[in-house]
Structure formats: C-alpha cells, structure tokens
Structure 1
Amino acid sequence: MQAAPSIPWTYARLAGLPLVRRRRLLRLMLAGRGLAGRLRGVRDETGFAATFESVLRLPRREALRLSREAHRHDAATELEWCALHRRPVAAIRRDMDRVTVTAPEVMERVAATGRPVILAPLHMGAYVLGLATLMLRHFPGRPMLVLRQRDDMAMETEVIERLREIGTEVRFLTVDRRADFLAAVRYAQKGAVIVVFCDLAPAYGAPAEMPMFGLPFRFAFGTDALARLTGATVVPIATTMDDDGDTVTIGRPFEVRGQAPEERAEVAGLMRRHLQAAIAARPEQWHLWPSLVDYLPSSATVPDNSPAGGEAPQPLAA
C-alpha cells in the first residue's frame, strides 16, 4: 500500500483557494521571501541559468530571470498538485474554466471520428488539469488510459484518480512487459483516450534521435508503434501556467500507417518540432531540466545543474 502523500502546511492552506488567488498569493509569498533573503545578504541561487545560457543560447541576464521563474514555477506546480488533491469537485471544475485550448476545432475534429486517440503531453505546467479539461470538453464519456513505467508516485496516482470524481474513467497501465503493451492496444481499440508523455528519456524504450537547440537529444518514442497498431490519431499537446489560468497548446495531429524507417523518422521529426517549440516558448516550465543528462550522449557537455550554479561545462554521463 502506498503511503499518503505529505502536503506542506502552507500549500495545504493555499490549495483550498480559487486558482487565481492561490497563484497570485504564492507569487507574493515567494517574492517576499526572496526580498527578505537579499536584505540578509543572501545571494539568489543561479539554478539553471548556466544551462539556459548554454542550451538555449540566452544572454546571462535573461538566463538568470528564467532560472528564477523556473524556481517559482516548481513551487506553483507543487501547489497545483495539492489543489487537485484537496479541492472539492465543484471547485476543480471552476478552476477548469480558467483553461484555454488553443485549437478547439482540431480536438473536435479528432474526437468526432470516434477513432482511438493518443494524447502526447510534455511534463510542463499543471498538465493534469489540462488533460482533465480536454477529456471533459472533447471526449466526454470516453475512458482515459495513462501509460507509465512505474507505479510508486503516490501524489500523481491519487490526483489522476480524482478525475473519476470529475467524470472521466481513468486507468493506469505500467508498460514494462509486452503483455501490458498489448493490453493498451486492446483498450485503445475499444475507444479509450491513451496518454503517453512525449518527453520521456530514451531509457524508457524505442529511443529516437530528436536533435534540439543544436544538441543531440534523444527521447523515448514508442508512440509511433502504439499509433500504428491501434490506428490512433496522435495529438501532441503542451500545458503552460500563468497566474490567471492555463493554456493547452495543440500541436499538429498525425497518424502512423507503416513502420518503414523513413516514416518513423518523419513522425519523430513532427514530435521533435513540437517538443522544441513548446520548450523554447516557455523553458522555465519544462519540469525535466534536472534530468537533462538522461537525454544526451556522454560526449555532450552542458553546465552542471547543481544548486550552487556550476558555471563551468561538465561532461554528461550517459
């Protein structure tokens, strides 16, 4: 049995507030804490500034600003997990009213076919709220299957399971065996909406070359095989957070007909462009910068992501 997730007292209090109020109050609290630290002579940590400079080719001042925003975003994301965990269903639905979908007509066309669908989000923003909004607005009555590689994430599991209370049947499938993968295929063919994150590290399986920002990134890419076997339409998405609400950006949907290397390369290119565009637009909101080492070969070098800053480039172990 999993232990109940521990929620800090401050987050527990803020989590009960409506979306705009809790996010603005959190920003004020963090700003006050930062000011108090500077008055005591405590320097701001550089965090991911060196990485943003190196990977995104940003000037130092902008990299430092984004690093501070990344720190605030991490706190805001944790708060959103707490809010989804604690708030009543009616309150969560009011929060969902603050979610904007950039191309609702695309989702309507995909849903109208009645065919299997694969949603491919990044680990960005409050992605669970974005997924819940898409399911209720565009796929009401259809179940959702979340594919993952491990089942020890107590908070994530409990939050996503709360979608059942909101009106979406949810199942998890840990795909570490071929039989589990085939179960996902059968479930999709029965009408489920499958959720497969598109920014998983290559160690998760079926790695594909997706170079970005001039670096040899690789990502796991079993989505093409799942789409081909189920006949599903893949819809890349990315959720971003702001104080007044969230935005779900819809990428270019695609289907996979064959398994020739050139077709795999083509659909991997579509996913690569979606990944790069989403990360470049809001780099402070990509949750996986601390795991950058997992996406690059050992020959690549980027600055260390340690809290102390690590300004000098460090070799990344594979």
Structure 2
Amino acid sequence: MSNAPHIPWTYARLASLPLAWRRRALRALVASRRLLGRDKGDGFAATFESVLRLPRREALRLSREAVHHDVAAEIEWCALHKRPIAAIQRDIDRVTVSDPAVMERVAAAGRPVILAPLHMGAYVLGLAALMLRYFPGRPMLILRQRDDMAMETEVIERLREVDVDVRFLTVGERSDFLSAVRFAQKGAVVVVFCDLDPSYGAPAEMPMFGLPFRFAFGTDTLARLTGATVVPVATTMDDHGDTVGLGQPFEVRGNAPEERAQVAGIMRRHIQAAIAGRPEQWHLWPMLADYLPSSANVQDNSPAGGEAPQTLAA
C-alpha cells in the first residue's frame, strides 16, 4: 500500500466503527466544528446557486452538506480498506435497493448486464450489494482509463473477500474495448460510470439545469455489441445506511443517430434526477468545467462565492 494516501488518525478511528455509529459520530464532530466557527463549508454555494437555481440560504446549507459528505465518503473508503470482512458484510447489509423488482427482472433474463453508476455516495458498497444479491457467482468487470489509483484499486479488490469476483480492465485502445465485449458475452457484469467527462470519449449532448452539459457515452456502443441491458445506478448515503436508486433500464439494438439520442436522453434524465435529488453527494462538482463548453457561464467554485458569473470551462 506504499502508493496509497496516508489515512489520518481521526479517519481511521471513525472507519473502525460500525456504519451507523461512524456516520453519526462524524456528523456530531462536524456540528461541533461549526459551532466553534471552524467550518464555513461555503465552497460550492455559488455553484449551487447558479447551476441549481437555489436561493443563497439553501445553497449554503447544501454546500456545508457537501463538505460533510466528502469527508464521510473518504471515511467509507478507509472502512472498506481496514475493517474485517464480517464487518464489511454487515455494512453491505445496510444497503437498500429502491426498486428490487427491476433488478430481479434484469438478473433473471440471463442477458449480459452493464451497470452505469454515478460517482455518488459510497458507490462501492452499492455495487457490492447489487452483485451479491442479484448476480452471485458472476464476475464484475470495472472499465477505467487509468491504472494508477492505488487506494481505490486495493479497496475495490477487497470485494473479492466478500465473494465478489471483481476485475479491472484499463480501456485505452480498441482492442481493450473488444476485451470488454468478450467479458460481457461470457457473463461478466460490466461497470461503466455514466458521469465521466467528454474527454473519456464518444461525447453526447446531455443538457441539464439549463446548461449544455456533455458526458462521455460509449455505453450505447458496448450495449449494442454485447446485447446487454444497461441499468443506470446512483448510490446515496445517509446516517443509517445507503440506498441504490435505479434508473430506467434500456437496450441498444442499432446505431442510428435517433436511437443514440433516445438512449442518451434516458441517461441524461437519470443523471439529472440523481444530482438534483442529492446534489451534495455528487463527487465531481470540482470538475464541472470539464462538462461544459467554454461559452457556458456559471458561478465560480471559490469559497468567497462572488456575485459575478465566471467562465469555468477551459
């Protein structure tokens, strides 16, 4: 674990506690810091005001929650890395699926499956719960374009100890993509994050919140080549446990522009609904500029929260 970031003592202590205990303890700690005036938490307030069209007071509240959530999410990575396997299994038991009948139907169909989560909440726990409950015995293949994320790799690989056969595939060339197709056709559940920025390839227009968002969208091609059912996913955290929300499953049968636009619309609605529902839990607000053209003006992310719109996209 030589390349993994140092885990602060406080994080390690909180991570050692059962899920509900550590989250409530963190909330109490954060509340005490606010009472002492040590935690303003206004770093995203201007962005929430501008993008989500929120009044200042609500934007400040959500910004404080975003700061709290970022720390909570880091502690969840630490918990997955350090806690005993039996304890991790108890944490997974606290994950609720919003519409289990949908996932049961997808699993029962016996087709290849693509899970398309957002970078929200404790998404690793959510993926583990889905695999154990609906796809036992099937491997999980996570597609990524970088292999230098030591902490994330070691944490996710611990899922093997709770009977999730997780594998990684670094996709950079066409041949790598074809390997993903073969894995899916052999029964692997493929994980492709649906909120990657356009630089990851095959960008699609997905306007949200009145802004011209664009996301990478190669999922439709992978689904068409494998015959897979795509299930959009978003995991959110609360003090008592996690909830996996499911979007509208879809399949892709052709490559006509109108079909691509249709499935991109399904994904857009899922992403927007997930972010709008719990905006403080989307991890990628700091990279907002990567999703917008240079002509898009939104409020700056600076803690000062200035009043003038700033161009965030490069």
| Interval of TM-score (by shorter of Structure 1 and Structure 2) | over 0.9
Q: Which residue of 2 aligns with 1:115?
A: 111
Is residue 2:8 matched to residue 1:8?
Answer: yes
- Give the match for residue 300 of structure 1: 296
Which residue identity lines up with residue 131 of structure 1 in the other structure?
L
Q: Distance in 1 between matches of 2:307 and 2:170?
A: 38
2:121 — aligned with what? 125
Contact 1:2–1:152 (CA<8 Å) still a contact in 2? Answer: no
- What's the counterpart of residue 89 of structure 1? 85
What SS does the corresponding residue of 1:162 show, helix, strand or coil? helix
**1:240, distance to aligned residue in structure 2 (A):** 0.2
Q: Which amino acid aligns with 1:28?
A: A
Distance in 2, matches of 1:94 and 1:281, equals: 27
Q: Deviations over 1:267-302 (max 9, x none)?
A: 000000000000000000000000000000000011
What is the alpha-carbon distance in structure 1 between the residues aligned to residue 237 and residue 224 of structure 2? 32
Q: Which structure 2 residue ranges, 5 or more long, are not aligned? A: none
Q: Distance in 2 between matches of 1:43 and 1:232?
A: 46
**1:199 aligns to what?**
195
Query: TM-score when scaled to structure 2?
Result: 0.98
Pair 1:35 & 2:35 matched: yes
In structure 2, what is the Cα distance between the partners aligned to 1:317 and 1:140? 43
Percent of pairs with identical residues: 80
- 1:98–1:246: 8 Å Cα contact kept in structure 2? yes
Q: Secondary structure at the match of 1:219?
A: strand
Size of the aligned set, in residue pairs, is: 314
Q: Which residue of 2 aligns with 1:19?
A: 19
Confirm or deny: 8 A CA contact 2:41 2:67 kept in the other structure: no
Structure 1, gaps ≥5 residues long:
none
Amino acid in the other structure paired with 2:32: G
* Superposition pairs of residues 45-60 of structure 1, within 5 angstroms: 45-60=41-56
1:158-210 per-position Cα deviation (integer Å, ceiling 9, x unaligned): 11100100001111111111111000000000000000000000000000000
Aligned position for 1:135: 131
1:240 is paired with a residue of what secondary structure? strand
Is contact 1:70-1:285 (8 Å) kept? yes
Map of 1:74-85 to 2, 5 A cutoff?
Answer: 74-85=70-81
Aligned counterpart for 2:210 among listed residues 184, 203, 214 = 214
- Quote the offset at 1:303 in angstroms: 1.1
Q: How far off is 1:258 after superposition?
A: 0.1
In structure 1, C-alpha distance between the alignment counterparts of 2:313 and 2:212, rounded to whole Å: 14
